[in-house]
Amino acid sequence: MKTRTARTTAALDAARRRTGVGILFGSVTLYCNTSDSPAREVEIHVKELVRLLTAELYCPACRRLLTLHLVETREERHVADEPAARLNVIDQLYERQHPGEATPLAALFSVSLDDLIARVLVDGARA
């Protein structure tokens, strides 16, 4: 059975390989599982110039070993963030046009990027 640190090492090494240059530019998300710690999640934005990031990462609040959740390269993070950003903008536009109403799922998932840009430009012209 792999230790927590061995799993983190393997995930960091895998991400380094995915970058194609052997070093990590991206982010590492970890959890603090200590029940008495005020921290829940720790996110590190990594810019390795040489291989520096260790797998032994400790909680800044309670100083206990963190549990790895996710390692993403910068490109993977960008791909993952884009849909969330798009949904956030659609939700804000819908709220402005329908105050107090929840955004229907159909509105969230039926808008192309070009259509969304057009809507933002129209909304900005009204403001």
C-beta of 45: minimal distance to Zn ion in Å? 19
Integer Cα distance of 36 and 33 in angstroms: 9
* Chain-centre distance for alpha carbon 107: 23
Among 62, 65, 116, 120, binds Zn ion (CB under 5 A): 62
Contact region with Zn ion (CB under 5 A), list: 49-57, 62-70, 100-108, 109-117: 62-70
Nearer to Zn ion, 42 or 93 (CB): 42
- What DSSP line would sit under 58-124, residue for residue? B-TTT-PBPEEEEEEEHHHHHHHHHHHHHHHHHHHHHHHHSTTPPPPHHHHHS--HHHHHHHHHHHH
Contact region with Zn ion (CB under 5 A), list: 32-40, 79-87, 108-116, 117-125: 32-40
Residues that bind Zn ion (CB under 5 A): 32, 34, 37, 39, 59, 61-62
